[in-house]
Structure 1
Amino acid sequence: MRFIQVWRFITLMLAAFSLSLSMTHLLELPQRMQFDQQLWIRVTVIENIYRLFGTVGAFLEIAAILTASILVFLVRKHGSTFYWTLGGAMLLAIAFVSWMIFIAPINAEFAKWLTTPIPSTWIQYRDQWEYAHAANALLKIIGLSFLVISILVEIPKKRAV
């Protein structure tokens, strides 16, 4: 197996692992939006069931972006493969930036709720947190799809015999 094939495999796996955490949020969204205040805050803030998403998830997301960025460089002379790879890497990076802009500040706010009263506007925080995670998952789905397409466009077509 050539180096570039191994690198593509690593990139795809890291992007898929990162997406798997985001898919959790997306799939839970309909049910979680029905939770009352007490249940939603207990599960999300107090019990912090997503604790490892911040550590393991951060590693996977940054690693996926880095490997995809290096892959862009490795395929820079591969025609349309380059553009699909660039698009995939950019979408993974945009997903991370969107997390920093829309989700990280809410996580910081949630940390305050452990020692201060829950604000009456808690539902606005919940909505931003839930819908930003859903948007993040969609960005990663498209990003991973672009990375897969970047490989598919390079597969030679069989010649008719």
Structure 2
Amino acid sequence: MALRMVQFFAVVLTALALVPTGAHLFELPNKFNLSRDAYLTVQGMYAGWAFFGIIDLAALVTNVFLAVRLRRQHPAFSFAVIAVLCFVVFFAIFFTWTFPVNQATSNWTTLPDDWSQLRQEWEYSHAVNAVVMLIALCSVTLAVITTH
């Protein structure tokens, strides 16, 4: 029974981690056409989204726990490890590109002169992370359905 709960939470938390990155991915084409002032206004919608980091961290921990629980079940273990690695990549991308841009723009409350380059880094880092999170969701789902 405990394994089923871990599986459930791993899938749900991973799906929730995909939500904000997926939203960013689908917004991307329209946001690149916005003027400086319009972009700054739109970015204001993300105030408070930092709390999604709690879900991301909880999903990582839960997926690690799932991988440990499945260590003797192949291929389920391999899929669980792929999901964990996706979260490691997700956080690496976030702290390499997204977070520094958040700092440079005071979480998009100000726009420095190089705002266009920062926008590109921020938007593309989220787009790549959407793909990474989709792979994580597929992997954890495969880990669950291949468990015996």
Unaligned runs of 5+ in 1: 156-161
| Residue matched to 2:117 | 124
Provide TM-score, normalisation by structure 1.
0.86
Unaligned runs of 5+ in 2: none
Give the deviation of 1:119 after TM superposition: 3.2
| Residue matched to 1:68 | 63
| Residue matched to 1:50 | 46
Give the deviation of 1:52 after TM superposition: 2.1
- 1:99 equivalent in alignment to 2:94: yes
Q: Give the superposed CA RMSD.
A: 1.6
Provide TM-score, normalisation by structure 2.
0.93
Identity of aligned residues (%): 24
Return the index of the structure with the highest Cα Rg: 1
Task: Give the AA of the match of 1:50.
Answer: Y
Task: Give the AA of the match of 1:132.
Answer: S
CA distance in structure 2 between the partners assigned to 1:151 and 1:43 by the alignment: 38
- What are the Cα deviations for residues 49-106 of structure 1, in whole angstroms up to 9, with x where unaligned? 1122212x10000000000001110000001110010001110221022111110000
Task: Give the AA of the match of 1:97.
Answer: A
Q: Where has structure 1 moved over 6 Å in runs of 4 or more?
A: none
Task: Give the AA of the match of 1:74.
Answer: R
